[in-house]
Amino acid sequence: MGNQTAITEFILLGFGDLPELQPLLFLLFLVIYVLTIAGNILIVVLVVADQHLHFFLGNLSCLETCYTSNILPRMLATFLTGDRTISFNGCLTQYYFFGCLAAAECYLLAAMSYDRYLAICKPLHYAVFMNGRSCLQLATVSWVSGFLANTTSTFFISNLIFCDHNVIDHFFCDSFPMMKLSCSDTHLTGLLTSIVACLCSLPPFLLTMTSYIYIITSILRIPSATGRQKAFSTCSSHLIVVTVFYGSILIVYVLPHSNRLKDFNKFFSVFYTVLTPMVNPLIYSLRNKEVKEALRKAFNKCKDFKTLQKIQIASS
């Protein structure tokens, strides 16, 4: 890769050259990052500690932790130091892991929607179709498919020639902003990237929407108005989050690209890189009855442990 390019580093333009906004943006994204990491790590710890919690919740939180940590720390360092440079290999590595984790999340959210469909619409068959082995297989396929999907795109981008401009008009290393800087023919690479993005987002999105249509149909048959309202509350929250996630990805990567839409693409990129990883622990996990119960048990254990320590100290 190094022999094919005269550029050794890129400059990430971020959200523009507005020095007065840098401290505010730093604080905003720092709070988002802390909340995202704290929420997702809490879910991972609870899933490991309590085997009754769903396997998919731990996978989603682990994925979100890696996904966010691939982008936000670099962005925070830029706001804090003003240094916007990133090496060519570092930029390519960031794009590779971003694409892999984003694709894996698309597949994992689809698997989780199918899991909810079986639990609500086919409860008698749930234990057969969603046993431990099936959950492990679906999670493994999601992770492996995500990493395989972006390998080809990254390979093609790594073989492009960059010989002049090195300013990326984005807040992280993404495929199309990088390709705009290349002095090679990027038609094939751009087409391949769009096809990969479409295959990684559109089928899971359609599967997710189909699952929730069946779920909503089943909820409407619930005789209790209170039961319908509670089920709709959870279902609508899930549906909003997955629609924002899939929709923003489809807008950025599948729709035609033009210079007039680059600011809109940057805006929509914030949704699937920053906002959804922050709200997913709340929407999918912390509102879950089983997670609440596990959190209560963990809190009581900590409380009992502290009380026991105080008694031991007092007796000694």
pLDDT digits (tens, 9 = 90+) for 55-97: 888 899 999 999 999 999 999 999 888 889 999 999 999 999 9
Tell me: pLDDT of 303 over 70: no
Predicted local distance difference test score (pLDDT) of residue 259 = 64
Tell me: pLDDT of 131 over 80: yes
Tell me: pLDDT of 30 over 90: yes
Predicted local distance difference test score (pLDDT) of residue 288 = 66
Alpha-carbon span 213 to 197, nearest angstrom = 24
**Class of domain 2-315 as given by CATH:** mainly alpha
Tell me: pLDDT of 229 over 70: yes
Tell me: pLDDT of 276 over 70: yes
Q: Tens of pLDDT along 95-116?
A: 999 999 999 999 999 998 998 8
pTM of the model: 0.85
Q: What is the mean pLDDT of the chain?
A: 84
Predicted local distance difference test score (pLDDT) of residue 5 = 46
Tell me: pLDDT of 3 over 60: no
